């Protein structure tokens, strides 16, 4: 194998999931209600009327799932912990049965030599906290720090990699701005305070992590970094793409790594909108030193200037190439560009914490799923990750989104991203061609 297809020794190959998308068991063993448990019951908000009530039933089938991971040769598994399983109403007394589930999962991973990477919050806030204002309420950031601190005490010795949040932009924008995600609020003015409180809670959790003295563990955060391109070289389009880059990427990168919000964003949204939730010391807390940055990379977006959108002054234009079932352009250089963007802000070790694609898989008459499109997608994106390393990125790992087909939020269960096919009626797991491909990549440490 030529060197440019091989990855550095010790490179971490993994797969990623999130609690609400796979666990099911939505009210088992004392688990509290999350904002997703509440949201999916609103008529018409989820395609096909699907819910995560059962999803992949991973809560009961985790041992079988870890077996699949081991057979694939995964070096690491990124999962999230459901806050309401641990603290059913957000705080107070922990729910031992919920904690025990994660203990069992982590033990099974370690038995197979798979490194656990735990995301502390992947959008499933306890509904009880949402009832008190959710992420618009600064107090939620303090509750998050308590929850994180409890996890570090309880599980810190077994989990070497922690991520505070997954894609805070998505939680703020789609959860509180457009209402497409839980909790389904439609208030553009909430987006910035929510983003700020998520970032603040991240910094407070980092403090709790350092206080827990876990010398062999690391902490980071996972951001969605998508490149934003102008539809034309016209200055108005270039400015539009830069504004969207500001709202989706720089609004998170800059406070985390430079301890301030981007000047152009302050001007654009108006200082009044940005300022109210920001208290003295907040920016210092937000920019506490972390150990790694996780980057979720799927595609790029292209924008033209359009002031009919009063919030952004931009309009997304159609993709310029083939797309996945999500309508996302297949653009492998998204990985190279996302990592380059991250490197403008930090020289920390980087991980691609999500990369993958939904396609309309067909189960053949013999039960096989020949998902050649997903295999091609992965091959091209893994090659792009290798190019990014050649270009100087300190990339330490690549996690496929996702281990198995699951509940894709507002899109329901019909959008399948998995390496493993899940029959949601029988819960039967079947490897797709892409799972075998990824197993071979891992075995060769390269393409
Ligand atoms: O399924 C999601 C995941 O929860 C967060 N990142 C993007 C994935 C695909 O949409």
pLDDT truncated to tens, each residue of the chain (447 aa)?
566 799 999 999 999 999 999 999 999 999 999 999 999 999 999 999 999 999 999 999 999 999 999 999 999 999 999 999 999 999 999 999 999 999 999 999 999 999 999 999 999 999 999 999 999 999 999 999 999 999 999 999 999 999 999 999 999 999 999 999 999 999 988 999 999 999 999 999 999 999 999 999 999 999 999 999 999 999 999 999 999 999 999 999 999 999 999 999 999 987 666 666 899 999 999 999 999 999 999 999 999 999 999 889 999 999 999 999 999 999 999 999 999 999 999 999 999 999 999 999 999 999 999 999 999 999 999 999 999 999 999 999 999 999 999 999 999 999 999 999 999 999 999 999 999 999 999 999 999
Q: How far is ligand 1, taken at its centre, from the CA of residue 170, in Å?
A: 9
Q: Residue 221 is encoded by which pair of tokens?
A: 């955060």
Q: Kindly give the distance from the C-alpha atom of residue 388 to the centroid of ligand 1, in angstroms, as a whole number.
A: 22
pLDDT at 107: 98
pLDDT of residue 275: 61
Ligand 1, pocket residues at CB < 6 Å:
18, 21, 167, 296, 354, 401, 408
How many Å lie between the centroid of ligand 1 and the Cα of residue 351?
Answer: 16
- Show the domain range for 94: 3-444
Nearest CA to ligand 1 atom 4: 18
Q: CB under 8 Å to 147, separation ≥6 — which residues?
A: 83, 86, 87, 90, 91, 120
pLDDT at site 4: 74
CATH of the domain at 306: 3.20.20.80
For the chain, how many structural domains are there in total?
A: 1
Decide if 68 contacts 389 (C-beta within 8 A). no
Output the furthest CA–CA distance in the chain (Å, rounded). Answer: 63
With residue 344 as reference, give the H or E element that holds it: helix 333-345
Distance 408 CA to ligand 1 centre (A): 7
* H-assigned helices in 55-137: 58-72, 83-86, 96-111, 127-130
Query: Quick check: bond before 291 cis, omega within 30?
Result: no
Q: Whose CA is nearest to atom 10 of ligand 1?
A: 408
Phi, psi of 14 (to 5 degrees): -145, 180
Distance from CA of residue 370 to its chain's centroid? 27
**Rounded to an integer, what distance in angstroms lies between the CA atom of residue 291 and that of residue 270?**
33
Q: How far is the CA of 324 from the centre of ligand 1 (A)?
A: 14
Q: Which residue, by CA, sits nearest to atom 2 of ligand 1?
A: 408
Q: Can you tell me which atom of ligand 1 is nearest the CA of 417?
A: 9
Question: Which is nearest to 120 in space by CA: 56, 54, 212, 55?
Answer: 212
155: tokens are 């599980």
Q: What is the pLDDT of residue 321?
A: 96
Per the annotation, the verdict on 263 as an active-site residue is no
Pocket test for ligand 1, best of 296, 323, 404 (most atoms within 8 A of CB): 296
Do β-strands 314-316 and 301-305 pair in parallel, antiparallel, or remain unpaired? Answer: antiparallel
Mutate to test the pocket of ligand 1, among 174, 295, 297, 408 (most ligand atoms within 8 A of CB): 408
Q: Is 130 a catalytic residue?
A: no
Task: Find the 122 Cα to ligand 1 centroid distance in Å.
Answer: 10
Mutate to test the pocket of ligand 1, among 354, 355, 377, 413 (most ligand atoms within 8 A of CB): 354
Ligand 1: which atom is nearest the Cα of residue 296? 6
Atom of ligand 1 nearest to the CA of 123: 4
Considering the candidates 23, 33, 130, 167, report the single residue annotated as catalytic: 167
Check residue 134 and give its pLDDT: 98
């Amino acid at each position: 194998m030529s060197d440019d297809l091989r990855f550095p020794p010790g490179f971490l190959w993994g797969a990623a999931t999130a609690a609400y998308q796979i666990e099911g068991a939505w009210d088992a063993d004392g688990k509290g209600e999350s904002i997703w448990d509440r949201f999916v019951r609103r008529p018409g908000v989820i395609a096909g009327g699907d819910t995560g009530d059962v999803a992949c039933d991973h809560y009961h089938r985790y041992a079988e799932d870890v077996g699949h991971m081991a057979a694939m040769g995964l070096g690491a598994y990124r999962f999230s912990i459901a806050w309401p399983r641990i603290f059913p109403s957000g705080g107070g007394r922990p729910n031992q049965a919920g904690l025990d589930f994660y203990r069992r999962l982590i033990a099974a991973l370690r038995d197979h030599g798979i490194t656990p990477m735990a995301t502390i919050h992947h959008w499933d806030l306890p509904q009880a906290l949402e009832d008190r204002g959710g992420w618009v309420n600064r107090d939620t950031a303090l509750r998050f720090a308590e929850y994180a601190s409890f996890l570090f005490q309880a599980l810190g010795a077994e989990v070497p990699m922690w991520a505070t949040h997954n894609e805070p932009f998505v939680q703020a924008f789609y959860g509180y701005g457009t209402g497409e995600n839980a909790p389904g609020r439609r208030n553009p003015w909430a987006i910035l305070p929510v983003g700020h409180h998520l970032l603040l809670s991240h910094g407070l959790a980092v403090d709790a992590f350092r206080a827990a003295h876990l010398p062999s563990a690391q902490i980071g955060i996972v951001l969605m970094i998508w490149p934003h391109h102008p539809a034309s070289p016209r200055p108005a389009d270039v400015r539009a793409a830069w504004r969207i880059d500001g709202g989706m990427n720089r609004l998170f990168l800059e406070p985390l790594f430079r301890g301030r919000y981007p000047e152009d964003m302050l001007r654009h949204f108006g200082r009044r909108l940005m300022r109210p939730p920001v208290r003295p010391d907040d920016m210092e807390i937000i920019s506490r030193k972390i150990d790694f940055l996780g980057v979720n990379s799927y595609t790029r977006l292209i924008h033209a200037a359009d002031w009919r959108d009063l919030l952004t002054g931009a309009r997304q234009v159609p993709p310029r190439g083939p797309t996945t079932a999500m309508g996302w352009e297949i653009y492998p250089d998204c990985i190279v560009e996302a990592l380059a963007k991250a490197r403008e802000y930090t020289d920390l070790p980087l991980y691609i914490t999500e990369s993958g694609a939904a396609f309309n898989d067909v189960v053949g008459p013999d039960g096989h799923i020949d998902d050649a499109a997903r295999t091609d997608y992965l091959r091209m994106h893994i090659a792009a990750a290798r190019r990014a390393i050649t270009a100087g990125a300190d990339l330490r790992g690549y996690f496929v989104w996702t281990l198995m087909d699951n509940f894709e939020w507002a899109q329901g269960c019909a959008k399948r991203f998995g390496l493993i096919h899940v029959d949601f009626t029988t819960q039967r797991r079947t490897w797709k061609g892409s799972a075998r491909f990824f197993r071979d990549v891992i075995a060769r440490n390269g393409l």
